[in-house]
Each structure stands twice: as C-alpha cells, then as structure tokens.
Amino acid sequence: MYHKALFVLTLIFAPCMASAGTSKIEVVCSFSILEDWCHQILKDKGLIHSLVPIKGELHEYQLSAQDVVRLKRSQVVVGFSPDSEAWLHDWAKSSPNHRVLWLGVNEDGTRLPSHGWTDPLLVMSMVTRLCAELNKTDPNLNVSHVQMLKEAQSVDSELKALFSTLPAERRKLVTQHPSLNPFAARYGIKIVGTLLESSSGEAADTSARHFSRLLKSIRADGVRVIVTDEGHNQEMAKRLASDAGIPSPIALNFESLPSAQGSSWKSMMVLQGRMLHEALMLR
Ligand SMILES: [Zn+2]
C-alpha cells in the first residue's frame, strides 16, 4: 500500500520535478547587451551565451566552429538586426531549421533605427518582444520583463535630466560610426557627421572627400566633440580633431559591456552617457 502511494506521488510530482530540473532554456545572443537583457528576464532559468566576446567587434564578427555548435543546440537565437549582424543573418540563411529573433525588426518587417539599443524607449519595446518570445518558446518559464522595463525607465529619466542641462550650442558631435543616432535623437543632440558612414562597416575607410566635408561641417557647426569607438583605430578621428583645432576625440563604448560580470546595459548607458555629457559640457 505504502509503495503504491509512493508510486502515485512520484507520478504526480515527477513532471514538476523534471521540469524544475531541466527548465533552463538555451539562448544564444549575438552580443553582450542582448545577453544582459536575457539574463535580466530569465535569471536562473536560462543558459545564455553571447557570441561576440566582451569588447569584441559586433559588425565584422566571424562565427567559430564552436559558435555554430552552440547555435544549433540553442532553443532561441537573439540578434538585433540583419544589417548590423550580417554574419548571423548569413548563418540563419544557411540553417533553414533555425530562426533568429531580430529584436530590431518588427513583426510587420519595419526596422528600428540602427543601434536602437541606445534609446531606452526602443529597449522597452524590444524587451517586451523578447520576453513574449521566451515564454512562447517554453511556457513553463513564465518569466517577466517588468523589472527590465523599470530599469529602462529609470535610465531614460536620468539621461533626460542630465542632457537637459546642455546649452543649445553644445548639443552637437561627430561619431566614428553611426552608433549614437537613436541616443542623440532621444536626448536632443545633433550628429553633425560620421567618419564611417556604413552601419556595418567599422573597417571601411574614409575617403579624402568625406574627410574634408566633415572638417567643413565641424567648423561651420562649431562642433567640439568627436566620439570614437573604444578599442578601434582612432587615427582618422585624431587627425580630424587636430585639423579642426578641437580637443582629441573621446572614446566611448555603447556597443559592448565592459566585463562579463557586474556590468549591464543599464550601467553602460548611464556611465557612457555621463562621459558623453561631460565632454559636451566642458570641451
Ligand atoms: Zn555599431
């Protein structure tokens, strides 16, 4: 009798126990910012991996054999856009059984602006979709993105207050690649020009004609700040600053978290935002 009861109990609880033990969903993200969002939503319910390593180059990344194994094994693959992660788009095209959840591509096919993760409002819509997709893939997860929405809201309030203190004549800059357009649009800053015009071409070169056009715009608009991408070649930007007679470029990173532990999209936005604000205010 005892044994029979135990057997029935085991039958009742076995599915729950099994699901508690194996409910981790395997997610592969293209880069560390998306990995952070997945962590914030899934917490200990996910095994999450970022393909581009910390401080790696997002647009020109190349998949390793180990990456491909990870991608095939994962239940969800998350990227921002086929434009900025063409290497992941290429993999998806050759892997018909797998789909990438492009957070920067709406369900109707329209696309968010390039580097949309620098605008907290766009982030709110992206994490909403991400959370819905994770719950759809595995309804046992039952995860929420409410905390993430609150964080994006608080980042936005802080940056809005900070950048509202900038005088009109200091609200302009030049960037190395088109990384800050959504940020600038949100906080009332004008991007006067960009050294590398292609959103997916950090490696592309700047023509002499483009360089002299930029120099003219910097002088005409009274730009004092050139933002470069931390870890990338600064030579062209330094020459531009020196020819224009303005301070050396400031290297920022809105594209990768500074370390695997203890850093988040939220801390990146606030820290890099404060550095940008200080440069615009004081130079
Ligand atoms: Zn970029």
Ligand 1 mean position to 231 CA, how many Å?
Answer: 12
pLDDT for 141-159, tens place per residue? 999 999 999 999 999 999 9
Query: What residues does each domain of the chain span?
Result: 17-155, 161-282
Q: Please tell me if the domain spanning 17-155 has the same topology as the one spanning 161-282.
A: yes
Instruction: Show the tokens assigned to 64.
Output: 């390793």
pTM, entire model: 0.89
- The CATH class given to the 161-282 domain equals alpha beta
Ligand 1 mean position to 123 CA, how many Å?
Answer: 16
Ligand 1 mean position to 139 CA, how many Å?
Answer: 34
Q: How many other β-carbons are positioned within 10 Å of the β-carbon of residue 282?
A: 10
Domain 17-155 fold is Rossmann fold (3.40.50)
**Which residues partner with 47 through β-bridges?**
26
pLDDT for 202-250, tens place per residue? 555 678 999 999 999 999 999 999 999 998 899 999 999 999 999 999 9
Q: Is residue 2 scored above 60 in pLDDT?
A: no
Q: Is residue 3 scored above 80 in pLDDT?
A: no
Angle of CA points 104, 159, 38, to nearest 5°: 40
Ligand 1 mean position to 200 CA, how many Å?
Answer: 7
Ligand 1 mean position to 23 CA, how many Å?
Answer: 34
Ligand 1 mean position to 154 CA, how many Å?
Answer: 24
Ligand 1 mean position to 176 CA, how many Å?
Answer: 9
| Separation CA 253–CA 176 (nearest Å) | 11
| Separation CA 207–CA 46 (nearest Å) | 45
CB-CB contact of 256 with 54 (8 Å) = yes
| Separation CA 211–CA 214 (nearest Å) | 5
pLDDT for 73-115, tens place per residue? 999 999 999 999 999 999 999 999 999 999 999 999 999 999 9
